[in-house]
Structure 1
Amino acid sequence: MRCNGINKKKVIIIGSGLAALTVAERLCQHCHVIILTKSNKDHSNSIKAQGGIAASVSQTDHWKIHYQDTMMAGCFYNNQMAVNVLVEKGPLYINKLMEQGLEFDRDRNGDLLLGKEGAHQKRRILHAGGDATGKVVMNFMKKQIDGKVTIIEHEVVLDLVIENNTCIGVITSNSHEQLTTYYADHIVLATGGCGGLYQVTSNDPSVVGDGLAMAYRAGASLSDLEFIQFHPTMLYLNNRNYGLVSEAVRGEGAILVNDVGKLVMKDTHPLKDLAPRDVVARAIQTEMTNGKTVFLDISMIENFSMKFPTISSLCEQANIDVDTGLIPVAPGAHFLMGGVVTNQVGETTVDGLYAIGEVACTGVHGANRLASNSLLEGIVFSNLLADQILLTPTDVSVYRKTNAMDKKTYTPVGPLPNLAEIQEVMQIHVGIERTKQGLLDAKSWIEQYDFRSYRDALINNYTPIQIRTVNMLTTCWLIITSALKRTESRGAHYRNDYPLINDHEWRNKQIIRKRLETEPRKMTGVGQ
Structure 2
Amino acid sequence: MKQTDVIIIGSGIASLQLANKLTKTLNVIILTKMERNTCNSYLAQGGIAAAIGINDDPYFHYLDTLEAGGHHNDAEAVLAMTKEAPDLIKGIWQAGCRFDEDQDGRLQLGLEAAHSKKRIVHSGGDATGKHMVDFFSSNLGSNISIEQSVYVYELILNDQMDTCIGVKAKTSDGENEVYYADHVVLATGGCGQLYSFTSNAETATGDGMALAYIAGAELADMEFIQFHPTLLYVNGSTRGLISEAVRGEGAVLVTGEGQRIMGDIHPLMDLAPRHIVSQTIYEYLKKDIQIYLDITEIEDFGIRFPTISQLCAENGVEIDKGLIPVVPGSHFIMGGVKTDLLGRTNILGLYAIGEVACTGIHGANRLASNSLLEGMFIGSRLAEWINHTPAVYKNTKKSDAVKIELYRPLGTLPEIEELKRTMMDRTGIVRTRAMLTAQKEWLEQFSFDEWMDAPLEQMSAAEIKQFFMYITACLITESALERTESRGGHFRDDFPNEDNANWMKKRIVHQRKKVKDGKHEYYQTSLAT
Which category of TM-score, normalised to the shorter sequence, fits these structures?
A: over 0.9
Amino acid corresponding to residue 37 of structure 1 in structure 2: T
- Number of the residue aligned with 1:386: 383
Which of 259, 268, 273 matches 2:265? Answer: 268
1:288 aligns with 2:285: yes
- Number of the residue aligned with 1:521: 509
- Measure how far apart 1:197 and its partner are: 0.7
The question of whether the paired residues in 2 share the 8 Å contact of 1:416 and 1:466 is answered with: no
The question of whether the paired residues in 2 share the 8 Å contact of 1:21 and 1:142 is answered with: yes
- Number of the residue aligned with 1:134: 129
Deviations, residues 262-282 of structure 1 (Å, cap 9, x unaligned): 211010000000000000000
Aligned runs of 1:123-522 on 2, under 5 Å? 123-145=118-140, 147-163=142-158, 164=160, 165-395=162-392, 402=400, 404=402, 410-453=407-450, 457-459=454-456, 462-501=459-498, 509=500, 512-514=503-505, 516-517=506-507, 521-522=509-510
Amino acid corresponding to residue 523 of structure 1 in structure 2: Q
- Number of the residue aligned with 1:29: 24
CA distance in 2, matches of 1:427, 1:511: 27
CA distance in 1, matches of 2:307, 2:141: 26
The question of whether the paired residues in 2 share the 8 Å contact of 1:180 and 1:401 is answered with: no
Residues 1:21 and 1:370: Cα distance change in structure 2 (over 3 Å): same
Q: Secondary structure in 2 aligned to 1:184?
A: strand
- Number of the residue aligned with 1:73: 68
Q: Secondary structure in 2 aligned to 1:35?
A: strand
CA distance in 1, matches of 2:221, 2:315: 36
Amino acid corresponding to residue 87 of structure 2 in structure 1: L
CA distance in 1, matches of 2:98, 2:501: 39
- Number of the residue aligned with 1:112: 107
* Count, aligned residues: 511
Which of 77, 98, 107 matches 2:93? Answer: 98
Amino acid corresponding to residue 58 of structure 2 in structure 1: W
- Number of the residue aligned with 1:19: 14
Moved more, 420-429 or 130-139: 420-429
Residues 1:112 and 1:464: Cα distance change in structure 2 (over 3 Å): closer
- Percent of aligned pairs sharing the same letter: 46
Residues 1:89 and 1:399: Cα distance change in structure 2 (over 3 Å): farther
Residues 1:115 and 1:510: Cα distance change in structure 2 (over 3 Å): farther
CA distance in 2, matches of 1:490, 1:347: 26
CA distance in 2, matches of 1:461, 1:40: 23
Residues 1:220 and 1:513: Cα distance change in structure 2 (over 3 Å): farther
- Measure how far apart 1:90 and its partner are: 1.2
The question of whether the paired residues in 1 share the 8 Å contact of 2:152 and 2:170 is answered with: yes
Residues 1:9 and 1:182: Cα distance change in structure 2 (over 3 Å): closer
CA distance in 2, matches of 1:298, 1:159: 47
Amino acid corresponding to residue 471 of structure 1 in structure 2: F
Q: Secondary structure in 2 aligned to 1:16?
A: coil
CA distance in 1, matches of 2:295, 2:235: 20
- Measure how far apart 1:401 and its partner are: 8.9
- Measure how far apart 1:403 and its partner are: 5.3
CA distance in 1, matches of 2:399, 2:60: 49
Deviations, residues 53-79 of structure 1 (Å, cap 9, x unaligned): 000112221000000100010111111
The question of whether the paired residues in 1 share the 8 Å contact of 2:199 and 2:240 is answered with: yes
Residues 1:72 and 1:231: Cα distance change in structure 2 (over 3 Å): same
Deviations, residues 183-235 of structure 1 (Å, cap 9, x unaligned): 10000000111001111100001111010011011111111000000000001
Q: Secondary structure in 1 aligned to 2:184?
A: strand
CA distance in 2, matches of 1:408, 1:258: 58
Residues 1:460 and 1:309: Cα distance change in structure 2 (over 3 Å): closer
CA distance in 2, matches of 1:264, 1:134: 30
Residues 1:136 and 1:310: Cα distance change in structure 2 (over 3 Å): same
Residues 1:399 and 1:349: Cα distance change in structure 2 (over 3 Å): closer
CA distance in 2, matches of 1:11, 1:62: 36
Moved more, 214-223 or 389-398: 389-398
Residues 1:266 and 1:189: Cα distance change in structure 2 (over 3 Å): same
Amino acid corresponding to residue 278 of structure 1 in structure 2: H
Moved more, 145-154 or 342-351: 145-154
Residues 1:512 and 1:435: Cα distance change in structure 2 (over 3 Å): closer
Q: Secondary structure in 1 aligned to 2:133?
A: helix
- Measure how far apart 1:251 and its partner are: 0.4
The question of whether the paired residues in 2 share the 8 Å contact of 1:259 and 1:295 is answered with: yes
- Number of the residue aligned with 2:527: none
CA distance in 2, matches of 1:23, 1:453: 37
Amino acid corresponding to residue 226 of structure 1 in structure 2: E
TM-score (norm 1): 0.93
Gap regions ≥5 residues in structure 1: 1-7
CA distance in 2, matches of 1:76, 1:510: 12
- Measure how far apart 1:417 and its partner are: 2.5
Moved more, 395-404 or 15-24: 395-404
Q: Secondary structure in 2 aligned to 1:512?
A: coil
Q: Secondary structure in 2 aligned to 1:208?
A: coil
Q: Secondary structure in 2 aligned to 1:118?
A: coil
The question of whether the paired residues in 1 share the 8 Å contact of 2:100 and 2:124 is answered with: yes
The question of whether the paired residues in 2 share the 8 Å contact of 1:79 and 1:366 is answered with: yes
CA distance in 2, matches of 1:437, 1:284: 22
Residues 1:257 and 1:194: Cα distance change in structure 2 (over 3 Å): same
CA distance in 1, matches of 2:460, 2:139: 36
Deviations, residues 68-102 of structure 1 (Å, cap 9, x unaligned): 10001011111101101110111111111112111
CA distance in 2, matches of 1:496, 1:512: 16
The question of whether the paired residues in 2 share the 8 Å contact of 1:186 and 1:353 is answered with: yes
CA distance in 2, matches of 1:455, 1:145: 37
Calculate the aligned-residue CA RMSD, in Å.
2.0
The question of whether the paired residues in 2 share the 8 Å contact of 1:28 and 1:145 is answered with: no
CA distance in 2, matches of 1:388, 1:470: 33
- Measure how far apart 1:425 and its partner are: 1.1
Deviations, residues 359-409 of structure 1 (Å, cap 9, x unaligned): 10011111111000000000001100111111113248699894549x996
- Number of the residue aligned with 2:58: 63
Amino acid corresponding to residue 423 of structure 2 in structure 1: M
The question of whether the paired residues in 2 share the 8 Å contact of 1:452 and 1:474 is answered with: no
